A and B are shown apart, each in its own frame.
Chain A
Amino acid sequence: MNATTENIPTTIIDIGKDFSRYPAGRYETDGPFNGELFRAKFLVPVLNNNKQITIELDGTAGYGSSFLEEAFGGLVRLGYSSRQIKTAITLHSEDPSLLEEIEEYILDAEQG
């Protein structure tokens, strides 16, 4: 995903440092560093305030798909369009499969 809007400062969030090296679970009931919490703490404020963010995905011990689906696919279920998400959020990882998987969740959620 690439940010295209100009003149908006971009914040970098390193999940491993700023959230947890051990993200896990979908909902708040699943554990302290779940996808729902990550979305609410880092992603929703960016979209609500018309900001831009770069998410550094490497640096954690690994992701379960449930975490990724809830964090990113969950944005669409909250009402944000894939276009809004792609404009505001840039993902960075050395692992192309992670980027592809997140993209898939956003598109799948949008198609219902």
Chain B
Amino acid sequence: MGWTQIVTWLLVIAGWLLVNHQNNIREKRKEIRSILDKIQSLLDEVEIQAVDYHTGQESSDLAFQLKRSLNQKLRYRLDILKLRNIDVKKCYSLLIKFRQAVTLENFDTSSYKAQNLNDDLIKNIWLAKDRLSQEFEKSFTNRYP
């Protein structure tokens, strides 16, 4: 085999490695985007449930679902992002704020009082959810600008 053939083969292999590498990055980006979309859907769902809980009749079933989502479900998805090397440190503290907005006051209590949509408790839920949602997007953009 002449040196020109060797160079040709090396170029073919290098090209294949490059394309394969870029393909892997694209696939990983798509996978993480998909996880993030699921998180955003979950956040939307929790927001709706939380407002329903606080503006309607007190419901222990809804309270249970909210605790499940704000603990297990969100944490599981955060853990997956962390395993995929996405920096989600700031998301944890905003998750706490969201959990507090939903479950610190007027929650699991015998003195439950239905809120109006313009009450601070409801506005705080919306704001806390927006901040968490934006932070997730930021984490994604920081990793894949």
* Cα of A62 to Cα of B69 in the assembled complex, Å: 8
Q: Is B93 an interface residue (CB 8 A)?
A: yes
B103 near A65 with CB under 8 A, answer yes
Could you tell me the dominant secondary structure of chain B's interface residues? helix
**B69, B75, B92, B110: the one within 8 Å of A29 (CB):** B110
B139 to chain A, nearest CB (A): 15
B75: A residues at CB distance < 8 A:
94-95, 97
Given known contacts A62-B68, A62-B70, A101-B100, is B108 in contact with A31 (CB within 8 Å)?
Answer: yes
Within 22-41 of A, Cβ neighbours of B (below 8 Å) are at 22, 24-27, 29-31
* Cα of A63 to Cα of B70 in the assembled complex, Å: 8
A25 near B96 with CB under 8 A, answer no
* Cα of A94 to Cα of B47 in the assembled complex, Å: 24
Count, chain B residues at interface, CB 8 A: 26
Q: Is A64 an interface residue (CB 8 A)?
A: yes
B63: A residues at CB distance < 8 A:
24, 64
B104 near A66 with CB under 8 A, answer yes
Most buried by A among B69, B71, B95, B100: B71
B93: A residues at CB distance < 8 A:
97, 100
A54 to chain B, nearest CB (A): 20
A87 to chain B, nearest CB (A): 24
* Cα of A30 to Cα of B99 in the assembled complex, Å: 19
Given known contacts A29-B110, A97-B96, is B68 in contact with A65 (CB within 8 Å)?
Answer: no
Which residues of B line the A interface, CB within 8 A? 60, 63-64, 67-72, 75, 79, 92-93, 95-96, 99-100, 102-105, 107-111
Ordered by A's residue number, 19 sampled pairs between the chains whose C-beta atoms are within 8 Å are: A25-B110, A26-B109, A29-B110, A30-B108, A62-B64, A62-B67, A62-B70, A63-B67, A63-B71, A64-B107, A64-B108, A65-B99, A65-B104, A65-B107, A66-B108, A94-B79, A97-B95, A101-B96, A101-B99
Instruction: Please list the 7 inter-chain residue pairs (A to B) with the smallest Cβ-Cβ separation, ordered nearest first.
Output: A62-B71, A62-B67, A64-B103, A65-B104, A25-B108, A24-B108, A29-B110
Which residues of A line the B interface, CB within 8 A? 22, 24-27, 29-31, 61-67, 69, 94-98, 100-101, 104
